[in-house]
């Protein structure tokens, strides 16, 4: 079986980083392949500067925003994702094309067909599996507030500063497309239960691929 490319999606505060580390450890044991955790935007050498620009600047328009995320992805695919897969390593990537659809279209109202066309033209590799951590925006928002010790509105980055209104639109977009994912509703589950649910479904998917 070839190295696996798995993406992890969800609104801000849905627990992606924690689950990514745990899934990577499990996948490494299960497949016997080295497994690399990475993220977008900025998960490549030199990507920190672009990440800071994208998340720090509030003055560019929605199309520029889309193109900036795709530029970041282009570097990430070329410098990290493809070399790792070609060397036989699995990849767990926090955020990928579905974040662009959910935030730039679902959140910032770019026409979905237009965003899909541009993403398709980029010819980025397709993930083998996509995991969605589905959490209500209110719960995610509360978690983030307590983590960052802020009151009602975040001042940190471009997206967080838009607060609950953006999160609601993004969450709805993800939920409406949940049939494309291994989607786990995290609202009533502990971190460990979410992890168990993910790996039992991933394991079934991997075994099914192997039997083909
Ligand atoms: P992070 O904090 O999960 O690393 O993500 C940074 C922010 O960037 C998050 O609010 C989601 C946003 N984002 C997009 O709007 N479009 C994208 O394509 C990606 C990858 C992230």
Average pLDDT over residues 113-142: 95
* Three-class SS of 53-86: HHHHCCCCCHHHHHHHHHHHHHHHHHHHHHHHHH
Among the atoms of ligand 1, which is closest to the Cα of residue 107? 15
Give helix 163-176 / helix 137-148 axis angle, nearest 10°.
140
User: Is the torsion defined by CA of 153, 145, 198, 24 positive or negative?
Assistant: positive
> Does the structure show a pLDDT above 90 at 141?
no
Q: What is the pLDDT of residue 163?
A: 83
Q: What's the mean per-residue pLDDT of the chain?
A: 93
Q: Write the CB contacts of 153 (distance below 8 Å, at least 6 apart in sequence).
A: 161, 163
Percent of the chain with pLDDT over 90: 82
Quote the number of domains for the chain: 1
Q: Does the C-beta of 174 come closer than 6 Å to ligand 1?
A: no
Q: Is 59 exposed, middle or buried (0-12, 13-18, 19+ CB in 10 A)?
A: exposed
Mean pLDDT of 10-37: 96
Task: Note the pTM of the prediction, 2 decimals.
Answer: 0.94
- Does ligand 1 lie within 6 Å of residue 35's CB atom? no
Separation of CA 94 from chain center: 4
The enclosing domain of 148 has a CATH number of 3.40.50.300
Tell which one of 68, 159, 164 to mutate to probe ligand 1, the residue whose CB is within 8 A of the most ligand atoms: 159
**153-210 per-position pLDDT tens digit:** 445 677 877 888 999 999 999 999 999 999 999 999 999 999 999 999 999 999 888 7
Complete DSSP assignment for 84-153: HHHTT-EEEEES-HHHIIIIIIIIT---HHHHHHHHHHHTPPPPSEEEEEE--HHHHHHHHHHHHT--SS
Q: Which pLDDT does position 150 carry in this prediction?
A: 52
pLDDT of residue 148 exceeding 80, the answer is no
Testing ligand 1's pocket by substitution, the residue of 12, 54, 155, 165 carrying the most ligand atoms inside 8 A of its CB is: 12
Placement of tokens 């039992």 in the chain: 200
In angstroms, the CA 131 to CA 184 distance is 8
> Nearest Cα to 17, choosing from 37, 44, 46, 47?
37
- The whole domain housing 9 covers 5-211
Lowest mean pLDDT among 43-47, 89-93, 94-98, 152-156: 152-156
Q: Is the CB of 124 under 6 A from ligand 1?
A: no
41 C-alpha to center of ligand 1: Å? 6
CA distance linking residue 43 with residue 17, whole number of Å: 13
Give residue 57's pLDDT.
Answer: 78
């Amino acid at each position: 079986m070839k190295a696996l490319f798995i993406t992890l999606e969800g609104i801000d505060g849905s627990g992606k980083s924690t689950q990514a580390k745990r899934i990577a450890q499990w996948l490494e044991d299960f497949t016997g392949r080295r497994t690399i955790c990475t993220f977008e935007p900025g998960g490549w050498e030199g990507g920190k500067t672009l990440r800071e620009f994208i998340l720090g600047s509030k003055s560019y328009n929605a199309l520029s925003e889309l193109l900036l995320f795709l530029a970041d992805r282009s570097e990430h695919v070329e410098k990290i994702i493809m070399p790792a897969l070609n060397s036989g390593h699995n990849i767990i990537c926090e955020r990928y094309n579905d974040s662009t659809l959910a935030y730039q279209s679902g959140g910032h109202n770019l026409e979905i067909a237009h965003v899909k066309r541009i993403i398709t033209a980029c010819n980025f590799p397709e993930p083998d599996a996509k995991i969605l951590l589905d959490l209500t925006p209110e719960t995610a928002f509360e978690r983030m507030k307590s983590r960052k010790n802020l009151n009602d509105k975040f001042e940190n980055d471009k997206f967080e500063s838009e607060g609950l209104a953006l999160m609601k639109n993004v969450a709805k977009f993800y939920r409406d497309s949940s049939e494309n994912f291994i989607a786990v509703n995290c609202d009533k589950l502990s971190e460990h239960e979410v992890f168990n649910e993910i790996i039992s479904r991933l394991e079934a998917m991997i075994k099914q691929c192997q039997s083909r």
